[in-house]
A = this chain, B = another copy of it.
Amino acid sequence: MLRVTKLADYGIVMLTYLAANRESTYTARDMAKIVQLPLPVVSKVLKLLGKAGLLTSQRGTKGGYSLARDPQEITVATVIRALEGPIAVTECIAVNRDCNLELGCPVRTNWHLINHAIQSALEKITLAEMTKPLNQSLVCLNLPVPETASKNLDISYERQQQH
């Protein structure tokens, strides 16, 4: 469905909060209160983020979590990977099997490039940037296929359509 899981969503929100308040540490209970989510859920997310090395954790009394790296060093892509595994837009990218097309799949290599493009985009957005509203966002995806090299360079938002 081209959608990020809720856990990843939660993770981004929590990490963004921690990025904005770097000095102190927060316990899972704290975060649950802040994010207004059930404790077990928050705990699960924090555990995963800790295991991925994005958070440092301190056990025992006075324990809690805090950001392990600079907010500029943590990208949205990294968070997503930490919480839901490798970013793979299609299944055949995740597991490297071929689809059932007769003579090999023609779109496969293109899916790889699309996947790479999306991943690369997510890789460029850091937690530091998530803390403050991005005032502008432009995507230019250049596809210098021989015939259509020029017409893909312009940025057109008008074609957007919703259901």
* Chain A residues within CB distance 8 Å of chain B: 1-6, 9, 12-13, 16-17, 20, 34-37, 72, 75-76, 78, 80-81, 84-92, 94, 99-102, 105-107, 109-111, 113-114, 116-125, 128-145, 148, 152, 155, 157, 159-163
Contacts and interface: CB of A to CB of B under 8 A. Distances in A.
B129 A110 contact: yes
20 contacts: A1-B84, A2-B89, A3-B94, A9-B99, A9-B111, A16-B106, A35-B100, A36-B102, A76-B114, A81-B161, A85-B163, A106-B133, A110-B134, A113-B137, A118-B118, A118-B121, A120-B141, A134-B143, A134-B145, A137-B141
Contact of A100 (B37, B90, B102): B37
Counting every copy of the chain, the complex holds: 2
Contacts of A144: 135-136
A104 to B, nearest CB: 11
B80 A2 contact: yes
Enumerate the 4 nearest inter-chain pairs by beta-carbon distance, A residue then B residue, closest first: A36-B100, A113-B137, A117-B139, A121-B141
B137 A90 contact: no
Given A2-B4, A3-B91, 5 more contacts: A1-B84, A13-B105, A78-B161, A114-B122, A128-B148
B136 A139 contact: no
A142 B138 contact: yes
A80 to B, nearest CB: 6
A76 B75 CA distance: 26
A37 B101 CA distance: 9
A131 B148 CA distance: 13
